[in-house]
Amino acid sequence: MTLSPEISILMDASGKVVSEAQLSAIRNLHPSDIAEALEKSDRTPAQIVEILVQIGNHISSKAFAQLSIETQEACLSAANAQTMLRFVENMEPDDRVDLLKAVDTEVREAIMPLIAQAERNDIRRLWQYAEGTAGAVMTTEYAVLPQHVTVAEALEQMRLQAPNKETIYTIHITDTQRHLLGILSLRDLIMSKPQMTLDRIMETRVISVPSDMPEEEAANVIAKYDLLALPVVDSENRLLGIITVDDVIDILEAENTEDFQRISAVIPFEEGYFKRSLPRLFWNRFLWLAVLLFTSLVSTTIMEMNSDVLHQMVALAFFIPMVTGTCGNAGTQSATMMVRALALGEVQPSDFLRVFRRELFMGLALGLALGLMAYFRVFLQDRHILLSGTVGVALLATLLAANLTGALMPLILKKIGLDPALTAGPFIATIIDAVGITLYFQIAILLIHVL
């Protein structure tokens, strides 16, 4: 897709958006496109706010809501509270609380008194839910009706509620204490006879989640049952809010990003690649690299301990990268597959024995095939039974160990409550280096004695 001229105006860093004609062209853009263009431009936060104010009307509020939380935070800190009030008030309740939690205390204290009383109470209510839980991503702007109204009255009510609700396609039926009695889709409402009361047509077997459920589990519930909205309830089944399907995509993508980062031994961070400052990114990467560097010294120590054998036969060293590399790759394969299968719920920690059997066979098959290939490759070149035998047998043994470690470690981590993604990638590779080199020398020594 090429950028439209209106978007390039937004990306041009030359200060004000000038003509009225240009402004009205920008107002014709989708708020998501305006937000994207502003994100990618070199505008300062103060300039972004100025442009949004010039755009005016409700489009600018929608565009502000679509900005990344880092940019929203910078805007809120750069402009005065009175200017920002409209943008903050029009945000979705859950995003608004995230933003207010992110900004400095003085910025928050400047804007809070300006916010309307009802909204302020809503912020306080949502404030209590820990980040990453269903409570923290739910919205409180849900459609709700009592059970004894008729279908005709309900339709009229929905007409009135629609402007202020995030969705009216799922209607929640509660009693006066907000206990969730049932749900009803707008589709079913429309298809029902006007004089029926809601308690006769509502679905009473409601799928709901507690507010402290991790957000990714709640997202998986929505994905599994193809819901448009999922009610969040307290321990007494009182309706607290709903999670909508568009939040699910964001939650799942964030979760996947975290898995990718963990797999590649980067301390997870939430900003986009260009948004994260270099010094911060340095620490996200350096800490794990340093830990892994010291872990890899185990391999050095093992080689130092075996320096006699190595002096006897320097050629042994030539094939170490092949053995450790190939086995590291096999371990990465099985670990990554298992991390993914756990994330998608295809495999549970209780499947331990089943996975063990499968990966035992797989490790043997891969080890035999690759070990034979390595044996012939070394033998054909060096005609050296001891060397080729050591390489072949070491590859088989190490690959079997690597494959089982890679497959079972994620299950064990999940079982004890850690993120399985921690085990894949560099971690597996570094551990397998040490295991592989140990086995390699043990097998060499053994074969020297035998042959």
For residue 130, the cross-strand partners are none
Which of 153, 285, 442, 445: binder of a copy of itself (CB under 8 A)? 285
Helix (H) or strand (E) holding 81: helix 81-89
Q: Binding residue for a copy of itself (CB under 8 A) from 110, 149, 181, 281?
A: 281
Nearer to a copy of itself, 27 or 178 (CB): 27
Of 76-84, 97-105, 171-179, 338-346, the window that binds a copy of itself (rule: CB under 8 A) is 338-346
Residue 426 makes contact with a copy of itself by CB under 8 A? yes
24 binding a copy of itself? (CB under 8 A): no
Q: Which span sits near a copy of itself by CB under 8 A: 75-83, 119-127, 229-237, 294-302?
A: 294-302
Answer for which of 146, 268, 325, 349 binds a copy of itself (CB under 8 A) is 325
Smallest separation, CB 150 to a copy of itself (Å): 16
Q: Report H helices in 139-227.
A: 151-161, 186-191, 198-201, 215-225
Contact 332, 424 (CB under 8 A): yes
- Asked if 448 interacts with a copy of itself (CB under 8 A), we say no
DSSP string computed for 300-357: HHHHHHTHHHHHH-THHHHTHHHHHHHHHHHHHHHHHHHHHHHHTTS--GGGHHHHHH
- Under the criterion CB under 8 A, does residue 80 sit at the interface with a copy of itself? no
Q: Which stretch binds a copy of itself (CB under 8 A): 48-56, 82-90, 128-136, 259-267?
A: 259-267
User: Within 223-252, which residues bind a copy of itself (CB under 8 A)?
Assistant: 223-226, 228, 245-246, 248-250, 252
* Binds a copy of itself (CB under 8 A): choice among 409, 424, 443, 444: 424
Note whether 165 and 141 are within 8 A (CB): yes
Query: Of 48, 54, 3, 64, which is closest to residue 27 (Cα–Cα)?
Result: 54
Amino acid making up residue 251: I
Of residues 373 through 392, those in contact with a copy of itself by CB under 8 A are 373-374, 377
Q: Which residue lies nearer to a copy of itself by CB, 89 or 92? A: 92
Residue 82 buriedness (CB in 10 A; 0-12 / 13-18 / 19+)? exposed
Nearest Cα neighbor of 173 from 241, 93, 239 is 239
CA trace torsion 127, 128, 130, 135 (10° rounding): -80
Number of residues that bind a copy of itself (CB under 8 A): 106
- 148-177 residues near a copy of itself, rule: CB under 8 A: 155, 158-159, 162-163, 168-169
Burial of 253 (0-12, 13-18, 19+ CB in 10 A): exposed
CA dist 351 and 358 (Å) reads 11
Which of 329, 352, 356, 445 touches a copy of itself (CB under 8 A)? 329
Piece of 19-27, 70-78, 127-135, 258-266 that binds a copy of itself (CB under 8 A): 258-266
